[in-house]
Amino acid sequence: MERSINFQSKFDLFEDHWSPKVIAEMNDYQFKVVKIKGEFVWHSHEDTDEVFVVIEGVMQIEFEDRTATLQSGEMMVVRRGEMHRPFSEEECKVVLIEPRGVVNTGDERSDLTAPMDDWL
């Protein structure tokens, strides 16, 4: 049984934006792939930090006091409770790491709220 997971192969399996798909679990944490393009909603996660890793492309994360840019091969930890808004001019391929059960829009509900536990 081979259990290695190729990020690019996973990204090849879907086309929609802003809808994270679970590709692996480590203890009670999940690894998710998501394609992003355009603007997400302002939100925060009151109970947990969240990690973004950019696999391909460029994304930005707007915070209340600054905007961060993340390139391919870079990661960022967004702290619990920290208001943030991800966005990307061009399509960007991202791996998210966070505990099982996290809603993508945090404490906000919007048209961009995606199902949890959507395994690829």
Q: Under the criterion CB under 8 A, does residue 84 sit at the interface with its own copies?
A: no
The residue within the footprint of its own copies, chosen from 14, 17, 19, 29 (CB under 8 A), is: 29
The residue within the footprint of its own copies, chosen from 74, 90, 117, 118 (CB under 8 A), is: 74
Q: CA-to-CA distance for 2 and 104, rounded, in angstroms?
A: 30
Q: CA-to-CA distance for 102 and 63, rounded, in angstroms?
A: 19
Stretch of residues binding its own copies (CB under 8 A), selected from 13-21, 83-91, 94-102, 104-112: 94-102
Closer residue to its own copies, CB minimum distance, 76 or 116: 76
Question: From start to end of 11-66, where are the E strands?
Answer: 21-26, 29-39, 50-56, 58-63
